[in-house]
Amino acid sequence: MLVASSLRLSIIWLAAAAVVAGCTTPRIEPQQSQAVQEARARENAPPPPACPQDPLSAVAPVTVGFAFNDTELTEAMSLPLVDSARWIACHPGVRVVIKPDADTHGTEAEQDSLARRRAERVRAYLTTHGVTADRVAILPRGQAAPAGEVFLINAEGRRW
């Protein structure tokens, strides 16, 4: 009887120890892989905007006006480029040409430099909004725009 009683007591202690051990063991959640996280993010993401179907003649040319002797492209000045960048990104077969211009003050070299910097600023804006840099050509100041299907962007100073 003593053996049976001590056997029962041992079983009770083992059961109690198992219960206590189960309660104190931390539950570890497995980490989600990067692929699972990205798939779930795509699932919950809004649908991408549809590509604009307007013909090239309806959206180009675009003029971006810079402040006098400046190359800063402020939010207000970049408004004409918002829809243009989306249209250009959706139409990879269309070439983009930036025709730079400068203010009429300063030497020819200064005007050329200002015009080039303005054009580079417009190209940088386009490349940060989905247009690859190799699709964007910058003309020398004063050169006529090429004929054919090109998206022309005039980067010029305001005339006031």
Interval 132-149: pLDDT, tens: 889 899 888 878 888 778
Mean pLDDT over all residues of the chain? 81
Tens of pLDDT, residue by residue over 51-101, are: 878 888 888 898 888 888 888 888 888 888 988 898 998 888 888 999 888
Higher pLDDT, 8 or 118: 118
Per the CB < 8 A criterion, the answer to whether 88 and 138 are in contact is no
Structural domain of 104? 56-157
| CB proximity list for 122: less than 8 A, separation 6 or greater | 64, 73, 81, 98, 153, 155
d(CA 133, CA 123) in angstroms, rounded, equals: 7
User: Do the domain assignments include residue 12?
Assistant: no
pTM: 0.65
Task: Give the pLDDT band (50/70/90) at residue 20.
Answer: low
Q: Is residue 28 part of a domain?
A: no
CATH of the domain at 65: 3.30.1330.60
**% pLDDT > 70, the chain:** 82
25 occurs within a structural domain: no
pLDDT range class, residue 124, cuts 50, 70, 90: very high
Q: How far apart (Å, rounded) are the C-alpha atoms in residues 82 and 143? A: 26
Asked if pLDDT for residue 159 goes beyond 60, the answer is no
**Does 139 reside within a domain?**
yes
| 148 lies in some domain | yes
Q: For residues 157 and 110, which has the higher predicted lDDT (pLDDT)?
A: 110
Task: Specify the DSSP element, H or E, that contains 4.
Answer: helix 2-24
Question: How many domains does the chain contain in total?
Answer: 1
For the packed helices 108-127 and 79-90, what is the interaxial angle rounded to 10 degrees?
A: 60
